[in-house]
Amino acid sequence: MDLGIAGRKALLNGASRGLGKACAVALAQEGADLTIVARTRDVLERTCDEIRAATGVTVVPVVGDITTDAGRKAAIAACPAPDIMLNNADGPLPGDFRYWTRNDWIVALDAMMLGPIEMIRLTVDGMIGRGFGRIINIVSRSVKIPQLELGLSNGARSGLVGFVSGLARQTVAHNVTINNLLPGIFDSDAQRRHIKGMLKEGGKSFDEIWRDRAAANPAMRYGNPAELAAYFAFLCSIHAGFITGQNLLIDGGSYPGTY
């Protein structure tokens, strides 16, 4: 299928590794030009070189923290009129809400709710004016299946999807769609960090937890980031203009409900 996005400008926040990188690769394979934002310069530049060499598209690196005003400013300066935007950044570590301060919550909201909303505010009217826009937020299955150890994610990400649910219905008439991808367990650095955060003295080892999580999934495995990226690329395509405000699980069937 031709996704019809060759030559489109895509701004991918949090895309030098993991799920974001896979999304960047998928769009480059469709001929979109990329601007990729991440904090760690050498990893980012390596990813940009790799994608350029493999696909021949233009790939602009932006070193910055997308949860800050300075990072957002740098992203928009490098790609002022994106047709496609991915919102993505780190998730929080596991913990007990009894120990979270107000500042812990503000950091979580900046990363998982207020930051993405600000990026949407900075880009959506341009997309509406140009008559094409695809905004996709990588969220988490935690908004449908609360993860007991991840209260910051359950809370902050639900704020983003609640907000998007209303806005997405106001932009779709202009061919600007906003959707959320809800990953289950994927084989990535964030998954490894998450498991390290679950280790307890005298408890299961990293390898045991890693295996148990795979075994508990109906697919009996972790997702491959390319599987999420294929879905992402379709949602960015010219064919997906009637899909908006959706929370799309990609989780190997771990969500246990019918609807």
Chain positions contacting ligand NAP, by CB under 6 A: 14-20, 37-40, 43, 65-67, 71, 88-91, 138, 140, 183, 185-186, 188-191
Two tokens at 33?
């030009």
For residue 127, count other CB atoms closer than 10 A to its CB: 24
Residue partners of 174: CB distance under 8 A and separation at least 6: 127, 128, 131, 133
- Least distance to ligand NAP, CB of residue 242, Å: 26
**Please, which residue, 43 or 219, has the CB nearer to ligand NAP?**
43
**Please, which residue, 3 or 143, has the CB nearer to ligand NAP?**
143
- Least distance to ligand NAP, CB of residue 90, Å: 4
**Please, which residue, 6 or 226, has the CB nearer to ligand NAP?**
226
**Please, which residue, 79 or 185, has the CB nearer to ligand NAP?**
185
- Least distance to ligand NAP, CB of residue 181, Å: 9
> What does the alpha-carbon distance between residue 71 and residue 40 come to, in Å, rounded to a whole number?
12
Q: Where are the beta strands (DSSP E) in the chain?
A: 9-13, 33-38, 59-63, 84-87, 133-138, 176-183, 247-250
Q: Which residue lies nearest ligand NAP, judged by its C-beta?
A: 91
Measured CA distances, 11 to 74, 224, 228 (Å): 11, 22, 17
- Least distance to ligand NAP, CB of residue 21, Å: 6
Q: Is the Cβ–Cβ distance between 45 and 61 less than 8 Å?
A: yes
CA-wise closest residue to 180 among 81, 67, 85, 71? 85
- Least distance to ligand NAP, CB of residue 77, Å: 15
**Please, which residue, 186 or 232, has the CB nearer to ligand NAP?**
186
